[in-house]
Structure 1
Amino acid sequence: MYFAVGTADAYESRSEICKETDRRSTIWNKRHELCTEKEHNSMNDYLSYVGIGLITLLPIINPITSASVFLGLSAHMSPAQRNQQINLTALYVLISLLVCFYAGSAIMSAFGISVPGMRVAGGMIVTYIGFGMLFPKYHEIEAQEKIASKHPSNVAFIPLTLPVTVGPGAIAMIVSDASAIHRTGGYRLIDHLVVLTVDIALTLILWMTLRSASRVLHLLGRSGTDAISRVMGFMLVCMGVQFGLNGLHGAFMASE
């Protein structure tokens, strides 16, 4: 009898242990599913933000224009000097993009500039740059090349980085977006990852374009380069107008 009671108690104990194990397993599975779903959504957001960043900034940075200017500036350089200038330009561009993003909110706060105001101003600048690409004035590019040719060994920062690659339009857009993110809750981990990914990707695209500048421009030809530049210019005009409209909408909403 005692053996039967002990057996029954042991059976009930094992049954309770199995139930507890099943319950914990169910909880773990639910947590695993939630974590997996959250990671999947985070990855989708990350890829979406990276795509938006590249689509937004690539036409403004316009590596093809930088390559055409670089060819004119490096005509009398040796291959070693040319490679050195390309590497320095890529480094300066990456640093400039990061500084614009992370110092953007501080700059706007120091000068009392609102996000809508920056968006309107940035939209005007981007639209102006877009019109310049749609209706290019070749004498301006030639003037930049003549100015820089006086110092052929030091063209990485000026004019290749500023203002050819990271110009007023790119600065205004990056600073405005950074300030908007900062004022809507601060930077998240995904924001830092997106910024680093986009900036590094843009820098690599620029570096590869400069390295193969002669081949790319020879392949496209003058007409192909002009066509791509005009398409990018049209995109910039559309982006600049939308940028300004968003700023005006934000200003009207803030005044109500």
Structure 2
Amino acid sequence: MSELTNTFLLVYAGLFPIVNPIGGAPLFLGLTALRTPAERHLLARRVAVNSALLLIGAMFVGSHLLVFFGITLPVVRIAGGLVLVAFGWRLLHSGLDIDGETASRAGGPAESDSFYPLTLPLTVGPGSISVAIALGSQRPSEHTPAEVAMLAAAALAGILAISLTVFVCYRFAEPLIARLGDSGINIVVRLSAFILLCLGIQILWTGYSTLAPVAR
């Protein structure tokens, strides 16, 4: 039982600071400021579900896909860092207008927005995917199939707990809009975009630094 608890805590504690649902909540509010409360709540639920599916896929299938396509983890970090840099740069310059553009294109709730950019890269970015793949690659070999299945269930519970945390933070962060107002939300969005830009560059540099000695 203690090993199951440790697996659950390892997955949850390993992913929580990188997914950072508390820090992402103001940015989620800014990007959905033009939505109705019902649409925002629906998006929060879909982002939580998408996040869970992405993390589950990365943990249990990600390492096999990388081997199949001959892709290394540093390359994943570099590609993910580029995506995060591009999104952060665009958000830094457009602010709240980014949501207005997607709303005008879709003419409605824009269900597709729940995946990009709200799930990827805002909530589950390249760092989260890399950690999930790394955790999934550390499969125990000395356990019986039944014990491995139980440990996998504990890891799955950790991912679902992260997804639930994302939903709670996004769903109940709405009162911030009334306190901050449009200008306050816009400031938070731009500050968060700058942090995302820095994180993208850091992930990109980490991937390059890891890949460079291998290339040589």
User: Could you state the TM-score of these two structures normalised by the residue count of structure 1?
Assistant: 0.61
Distance 2:169 2:18 in 1: 19
1:204 to 2:161 alignment? no
Alignment partner of 2:118 out of 138, 154, 165: 165
Alignment partner of 1:186 out of 132, 139, 145: 139
Match of residue 56 from structure 1: 18
Q: How many residues align?
A: 205
Distance 1:50 1:82 in 2: 25
Cα offset for 1:159? 1.5
Match of residue 233 from structure 1: 193
Q: Among all aligned residue pairs of Structure 1 and Structure 2, give the percentage whose two residues are the same amino acid.
A: 17
Q: Is the 8 A contact 1:127 1:237 kept in 2?
A: yes
Evaluate the alpha carbon distance shift between residue 198 and residue 181 of structure 1 in structure 2; reply closer, same or farther with a 3 A threshold: closer
Q: Is the 8 A contact 1:69 1:145 kept in 2?
A: no
Distance 1:159 1:143 in 2: 11
Larger radius of gyration: 1
Q: Is the 8 A contact 1:130 1:233 kept in 2?
A: yes
Match of residue 61 from structure 2: 103
Q: Point out the more displaced range, 164-173 or 106-115.
A: 164-173
User: Could you state the TM-score of these two structures normalised by the residue count of structure 2?
Assistant: 0.70
Distance 1:245 1:109 in 2: 23
RMSD: 3.8
Structure with larger RCO (C-alpha < 8 A, sep 6+): 2
Evaluate the alpha carbon distance shift between residue 58 and residue 208 of structure 1 in structure 2; reply closer, same or farther with a 3 A threshold: closer
Unpaired runs of 5+ in structure 2?
141-147
Deviations 1:3-28 (A, max 9, x none): xxxxxxxxxxxxxxxxxxxxxxxxxx
Unpaired runs of 5+ in structure 1?
1-38
Q: Report the residue type matching 1:177 in the other structure.
A: V
Distance 2:204 2:86 in 1: 12
Matches within 5 A, 1:1-256: 50-51=12-13, 53-58=15-20, 62-74=24-36, 86-150=44-108, 152=109, 155=110, 157-160=111-114, 162-168=115-121, 170-183=124-137, 185-186=138-139, 193=154, 196-197=157-158, 200-213=161-174, 215-256=175-216
